[in-house]
């Protein structure tokens, strides 16, 4: 049975209600299961249900009894790990990923695995194997990707929050498209995969800022074998985010010195955010790191393609299968072909260039506290723009160069970045604002996001989704 009052509460408030015996775990879980059963058939945000996990819910844990989703790129023992690909058909994860272990230890009740594009390689959730996920604000638009299932589920109220991962914008892009909050943590803050040159970071998509801080506290820390140290932070983020927001020096560059074509409605959204920041007492000025953006992105794509080709081959081999033009989408088969065509020297040149240009970006933050820019160059795209069955990897990369050329910067530099839902266009589609901070400084982002959430609350918007 759905309980209407639950819609107005985030995970933090729900946990308080459970602890104070105002709500039972059974009522909370029952509500979200009912919403999933009603909404998921149309939105296709959840591809594997894990309802038997409900039996292990324990209120005597930090997040005990709160519903959650795991992205279908991460292993959950005893359940499918499909990566959105038919090459993984029939594969069941033999054990939990370390991030799943930590979420379970915190008491989260995992209700399902969220949809993702094939192997998570596009900023739209359009798997031909598991089906497209639709944007809950407008069904003909994409929720973004690769954590599109997670973002659509959170925005539509199927869960209060969900796991996401981000190797090039895969938390922030769906957060922007679905009008929810999404933060990519600093490299090393949470356990990460060595694939993709350690670009990717795991965290969560949430409705509220405080829920994101709480979940980061739960997940923080390296796993055995991680190559990067966890940045120091002092107090838990739940406490740090409550600190007073000092006047920040914020750099702002919507069109990146005319280096790319930004849609006018995206420009309007970011201009609006800049004015809001000034009204809150922050100093906003036009500035941007002096680095070669296009060569930077070319190098990023080289490393991304090589890492992706290896990841696909290794996963398929674990399922006893080969990567062929019939076992994966055209995009993936041509990605593997493209990846195997690079030399070791080309890879090392790309990696070294990213490292040297990243230094320039880090130096920029010696002068500025935060950088504001668009999450994507366009609003949410119509469904079908990232059809991996029809398009080669080069065709997919051409679409991305015109849409998602900005968010990968923070992945290559390792800096924390977030998308904050502050603007809805005339079609009532959300357009997030993107903020980057110095390496290791999630605290400033959380404090700023909390201030923005109080100044322009977005929670009331969700009642418009049905």
Active site members: 71, 146, 170
What is the three-state SS of the chain? CCCHHHHHCCHHHHHHHHHCCCCCHHHHHHHHHHHHHHHHHHHCCEEEECHHHHHHCCCCCCCCCCEEEEECCCCCCCCECCCCCHHHCCCECCCCCHHHHHHHHCCCEEEEEECCCHHHCCCCCEECCCEECCCCCCCCECCCCCCHHHHHHHHCCCCCEEEEEECCCCCHHHHHHHCCEEEECCCCCCCCCCHHHHCCEEEEEECCHHHHHHHHHHHCCCCCCCCCCCCCCCCCHHHHCCCCCCCCEEEECCCCCCCCCCCHHHHHHHHHHHHHHHHCCCEEEECCCCCCHHHHHHHHHHHHHHHHHHHHHHHHHHCCCCCCCCCCCHHHHHHHHHHCCCCHHHHHHHHHHHHHHHHHHHHHCCCCCEEEEECCCCCCCECCCCCCCCCCHHHHHHHHHHHCCCCHHHHHHCCCEEEECCCECCCCCECCEEEECCCCCHHHHHHHHHHHHHHCCCHHHHHHCC
């Amino acid at each position: 049975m759905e309980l209407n009052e639950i819609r107005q509460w985030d995970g933090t408030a729900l946990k308080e209600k459970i602890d104070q015996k105002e709500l039972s775990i059974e009522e909370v879980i029952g509500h979200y299961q009912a919403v999933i059963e009603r909404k998921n058939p149309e939105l296709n945000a959840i591809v594997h249900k894990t309802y038997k996990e409900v039996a292990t819910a324990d209120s005597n844990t930090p997040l005990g009894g709160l519903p959650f989703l795991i992205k279908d790129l991460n292993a959950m023992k005893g359940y499918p790990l499909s990566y959105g690909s038919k090459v993984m058909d029939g594969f069941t994860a033999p054990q939990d990923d370390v991030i799943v272990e930590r979420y379970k230890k915190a008491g989260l009740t995992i209700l399902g695995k969220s949809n993702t594009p094939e192997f998570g390689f596009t900023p739209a959730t359009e798997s031909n194997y598991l089906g497209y996920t639709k944007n809950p604000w407008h069904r003909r638009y994409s929720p973004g990707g690769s954590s599109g299932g997670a973002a659509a589920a959170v925005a539509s109220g199927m869960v209060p929050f969900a796991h996401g991962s981000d190797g090039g914008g895969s938390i922030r892009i769906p957060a922007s498209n679905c009008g929810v909050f999404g933060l990519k943590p600093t490299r090393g803050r949470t356990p990460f995969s060595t694939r993709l040159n350690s670009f990717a970071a795991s965290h969560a998509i949430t409705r509220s800022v405080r829920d994101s801080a709480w979940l980061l506290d739960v997940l923080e820390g390296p796993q055995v074998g991680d190559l990067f140290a966890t940045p120091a932070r002092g107090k838990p983020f739940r406490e740090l985010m409550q600190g007073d927001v000092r006047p920040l020096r914020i750099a702002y560059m919507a069109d990146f010195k005319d280096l790319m074509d930004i849609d006018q409605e995206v420009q309007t959204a970011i201009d609006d955010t800049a004015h809001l920041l000034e009204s809150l007492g922050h100093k906003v000025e036009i500035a941007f790191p002096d680095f070669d953006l296009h060569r930077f992105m070319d190098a990023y794509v080289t490393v991304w393609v090589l890492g992706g080709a290896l990841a696909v081959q290794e996963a398929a081999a674990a399922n006893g299968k080969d990567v062929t033009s019939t076992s994966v989408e055209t995009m993936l088969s041509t990605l593997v072909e493209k990846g195997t065509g690079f030399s070791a020297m080309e890879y090392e040149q790309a990696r070294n260039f990213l490292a040297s240009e990243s230094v320039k970006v880090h130096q920029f933050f010696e002068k500025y506290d935060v950088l504001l820019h668009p999450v994507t160059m366009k609003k949410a795209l119509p469904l079908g723009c990232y059809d991996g069955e029809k398009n080669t990897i080069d065709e997919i990369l051409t679409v991305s160069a015109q849409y998602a050329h900005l968010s990968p910067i923070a992945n290559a530099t390792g800096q924390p970045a977030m998308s904050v839902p502050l603007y809805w266009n005339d079609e009532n589609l959300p357009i997030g604002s993107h903020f980057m901070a110095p390496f290791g400084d999630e605290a400033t982002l959380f404090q700023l996001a909390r201030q923005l959430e109080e100044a322009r609350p977005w929670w009331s918007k969700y009642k418009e989704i049905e």
